[in-house]
Amino acid sequence: MKIFKCPSCGKYTMREICNICNVPTAEAKPPKFSPEDKYGKYRRMAKFNEGADNNVENKVIIISK
């Protein structure tokens, strides 16, 4: 179940369109769970590991910075 927030009136709703303002709502993400940050971290780790496997020199450069 997704919760959306209307950017116009600021109310939370389960609709993708605010039934009050009739504007598209944005998916509300509670600050306590930041799924985007968590997955972003894993993406960066995966990218780093991939680069390290393919290019040892690149790994050294990243660490020395």
Give me the residues that bind Zn ion (CB under 5 A), please: 6, 8-9, 18, 20-21
* CA 36/CA 39 separation, integer angstroms: 5
Look at strands 4-5 and 12-13 and give their pairing: antiparallel
> Nearest distance from residue 29's CB to Zn ion, in Å?
18
Q: How many CA atoms lie within 13 A of 37 on its CB side?
A: 6
Identity of the residue, 21 or 52, whose beta carbon is nearer to Zn ion in the bound complex: 21
We find the least distance from the C-beta atom of residue 18 to Zn ion, in angstroms, to be 3
Q: Considering the complex, state which of residue 24 and residue 40 has its C-beta at the smaller distance from Zn ion.
A: 24
Least separation in angstroms between residue 35's CB and Zn ion is 24
Backbone angles phi, psi at 9, to 5 degrees: -100, -10
